[in-house]
A and B are shown apart, each in its own frame.
Chain A
Amino acid sequence: EADIYQTPRYLVIGTGKKITLECSQTMGHDKMYWYQQDPGMELHLIHYSYGVNSTEKGDLSSESTVSRIRTEHFPLTLESARPSHTSQYLCASSVPGDTQYFGPGTRLTVL
């Protein structure tokens, strides 16, 4: 099993708050990803990174931002949370040409 962690697992927060979802992996993987998934729906890629100081937007437009200062760490930030941001956020990592390993996810609820 891969070692990729996400915190918090669950978060309930009020509108307008700034939040950061943490994702870290101990496998030394260069590539990391953030997906957004509503209940029962498809996963959508919102951000990805090919290595330190590399970040790209994914296929689904998102108001969140990411940073990649260290290989093992890929946090996602929402400057001002809104109810429309309520979803599950999944982080993953991989080496080039390899499969992706997913974290357990963060279920975010914005009231």
Chain B
Amino acid sequence: LAKTTQPISMDSYEGQEVNITCSHNNIATNDYITWYQQFPSQGPRFIIQGYKTKVTNEVASLFIPADRKSSTLSLPRVSLSDTAVYYCLVGDTQDSSYKLIFGSGTRLLVRP
């Protein structure tokens, strides 16, 4: 599985756009990029997944450049409730033996 690197923590204010970048230099051809969100004392929750270019859903956008060696999770107009840990994962989700390997994640703090 491709190793990922994310900032340990980020601070933001309510109403701002937050961009969290993840590096995955040795991503493989069949690997997808997936982001999860985890609140304290809860299990991680799927946010978004993509393979290339841009993916958008009701919660976030995911930007993936052509070389796919990095990706950026974009959270528009964050609120206090977006304070959480965000994990970037890379792997071949079509592989029947695919397992999620979580790194340390990015701890986002949204201030009033």
Contacts and interface: CB of A to CB of B under 8 A. Distances in A.
Given A42-B105, A43-B102, A45-B101, A96 B96 contact: yes
Contacts, number: 53
Given A50-B96, A88-B41, A101 B103 contact: no
A6 B42 CA distance: 11
Given A42-B104, A42-B105, A98-B93, A103 B49 contact: no
Contacts of B104: 41-42
Given A97-B93, A99-B46, A100-B46, A59 B101 contact: yes
B95 to A, nearest CB: 8
A43 B100 CA distance: 10
A96 B102 contact: no
Contacts of B95: 97
Interface in A7-41: 33, 35, 41
Interface in A29-88: 33, 35, 41-45, 48, 50, 58-59, 88
Contacts of A43: 44, 102
Taking chain B's interface residues, is the majority helix, strand, or loop, or is none over half, making it mixed?
Answer: loop
B28 to A, nearest CB: 15
Contacts of A90: 43-44
Interface in B12-51: 34, 41-46, 49
Contact of A97 (B41, B94, B100, B105): B94
Contacts of B98: 96-97
Q: 10 closest pairs, A vs B, by CB?
A: A102-B43, A43-B102, A99-B46, A90-B43, A97-B94, A97-B93, A96-B96, A42-B104, A102-B44, A105-B43
6 contacts: A42-B103, A45-B100, A96-B94, A97-B94, A101-B46, A104-B43
